[in-house]
Amino acid sequence: MEPYATADQVWAGGLIFARVGAILMMIPGIGESYVPPRVRLSLALLLSLVMWPLVAGTLPALPPTLGGMVGWIIREVLTGLAIGLILRSFMTALVTAGEIISMQTTLGFSQTANPLQASPGSTLSAFLMLLGVTLIFATNTHHMFIAGVLGSYEAIAPAKPMIAADFAALAVKTLGESFMLGVQLSAPVLVFALIFNLASGLIARVMPAFQVYFAAAPLSVLLGLSVFALGLGVMGTIFIDRYRALARVFTGGALG
């Protein structure tokens, strides 16, 4: 390698690639299973080369031992996986919203293959997950991922101690906020289902001979999906705003 790059340059590029590759393996959209591994590896290599002049000053020197090299690489891979997992975990807000809406509209038994998850889920959850990934790219939020990778070298510099406690606190906070957001996104359908079920129960008590279930089931699906469709634009806007706020944590170096 000496005719093309020095040992220090190869070491710096490999260390950057370890973090960038781990992040790209986990983030929504680029890190999905349907994206060819060669595409992800090529993008990670390209970003590593572009970022090398910008972050080379924050990288440690080439260790004299093999054990030291392996330790630094494992540390960077774990840092990248932690950042990617936090960014991906917020997508569970859409899964929560989809499952709640499916239960309230009696569509919970309608299962379909979700390309963004390992196991199948409800149809509405799969739709909302695909909508979320589409919004990330349509609003250029994926550009913030690149800025976040660069900003992570200020917040979590390799030469500084590993802030595992801050990562754990941020992960717990992100999961809590994603669950709360999922319930908030499904609130219109929850309110509709509450009112509709109360009305159906009242009709069943007033008219015992009337087959309420056969009349209420199709109405519940039709009206519930109508409420869901009317609020879909607001749901997407709120989700992408909250997701961009999470991405700014790494862009602005808030972990530091």
> Which residues form the domain of 25?
7-251
66-89 and 164-185 are packed helices; what angle lies between their axes, rounded to 10 degrees?
A: 20
- One-character DSSP codes across 74-127: HHHHHHHHHHHHHHHHTTHHHHHHHHHHHHHTT-TT-EE--TTSSS-EEHHHHH
Tell me if 58 is assigned to some domain: yes
Instruction: pLDDT tens for the chain, 256 residues: list them.
Output: 556 667 777 888 888 898 898 888 888 888 777 788 888 888 888 888 888 888 877 888 888 888 888 888 888 898 888 888 888 888 889 989 988 888 888 776 666 655 555 566 677 888 888 898 889 888 888 888 888 888 888 777 777 777 777 778 888 888 899 999 999 999 999 999 899 888 888 888 888 777 777 778 888 888 888 999 998 889 999 999 998 888 887 765 444 4
Structure tokens at 56: 């080379």
Number of domains in the chain: 1
Tell me if 256 is assigned to some domain: no
Phi, psi of 2 (to 5 degrees): -60, -35
Helices (H) and strands (E) in the chain, counts: 10, 2
Tell me if 1 is assigned to some domain: no
